[in-house]
Structure 1
């Protein structure tokens, strides 16, 4: 067969779509359809093969003689133009001059499919690359489905955790979240102020206007409290009309007391509900973690509760700090 034996050339296109037929000077006589696809719309016939493809192993090639010296060997080549796709190949000389080079992508087939928009029709029917592409496509689809499922599961877990720590009526944290944060603060030994707030006259709202009005008031209370604290502070609804506020890093009585007074003043502003105005107030008991040698959540909550009752006993609508009782005097001995 010579390069002039055109009757055999169409067979190569069907059997080896990545082939190139070269004449005795190394110019392209015919390019297989997949080989031609690597160069877009360029007319390849008559172009010098080594101007398009670089032979890297087993040795460099500068002319047709160098190419023929590699006949029968496993060739490592690459496109000279971007994206410089790596190729594998074998060259067989033709009687009468010239050669046939059969190429493949090897392990770079995935990138080649992407870069040159190849399909199964661009590979020989017996090429195992087609089977590998199907496996890669199936694996990609499975991994994509797995990734989406994991994202949904992760989203569901985050949503469930968020719901478990959230009071659904007000959007504030709940008692479970409060206990979690208190435990974390104990471990980190970070100082904070704890405010126990109980709404005054809230029962009258429920009794006179109904529970829907009460829910509306609680939501408005939550909004007003959020406006007064920082983003790092925590507000938790721990009962029907009871709230606990943790002010992180605040240990001075004066600024804590001022903040509590501002909260109470905000709460005393009427809450519109339909054609009515709901009027409430708030009483607050306060403890500071720095006042304890070894602060404990249970004790601080109990002390804040005592301070809250003291605030209510003084007419409500006010804030009181917990005052530690004086230590008991030791009993005198020897006195009748």
Structure 2
């Protein structure tokens, strides 16, 4: 099977990776938007969990990761519900990790264990404990394939960076003692800049926040009224929207009518309709410097400043004024 990815180019995958790509749980991710409700209010915010998952797998391969870690990368998001992290706000889950809590159950109830077993792998031992895979996942503020891919992919899709910039950055990545590091400070400062652009101008954009807020409110109400159940959230974005529309409930329909691409909102701390806070996201890449890797913030005032600005913004939250909906 030949995969053409807009970030990493063209790759051939076969055997177990090909079988997993065509599995039900991975194919479902084509209908799950990475940005939650974002695509409902802005058409260009339309990256899918499928694109991201395949991208993480390809990045791990590019970095020399094992076949097993590529498998883990491909499957790491299969437990995301419809609308991704919107559900965390439906369930008041401050850590935004609901998909991680249900990961093992989703895997066990799927065709993935049988596919892995066919190739001699045990699903539970291969996919339990994300800390095992050092390229795939690392705690903030470190670099990892997951964090790198969603940042590059979103920012490229949104038109904030060029493919030439992406490839230049990817060529500055190195792996030392199992950890992803950057070969120079310029690459670290560039990535910190686009990462915080992602955090502030996408995650905390008042229009995106509006979409999250309204959709979370809609889903919570639909669950309370038993118009949908938690298991329905294991479908795709559009499948859940179809269920909501089919309910015919007037309150639900009124809320859905307010989530569209002509909504006008702004940030206004003195006159706002609602206040929104999410978890603080930050990055501080390791850079090769003199005797070995060091945190970029130790040698870069720019990284320190960007981090502090993003932290203050996240902790303050977003004050959204609805101009028209």
Q: TM-score range by the shorter chain?
A: under 0.3
Structure with a larger share of its residues in helix = 2
Query: Looking at CA atoms only, which structure, 1 or 2, has the larger radius of gyration?
Result: 1
Structure with a larger share of its residues in strand = 1
Structure number with higher relative contact order (C-alpha < 8 Å, ≥ 6 residues apart): 2
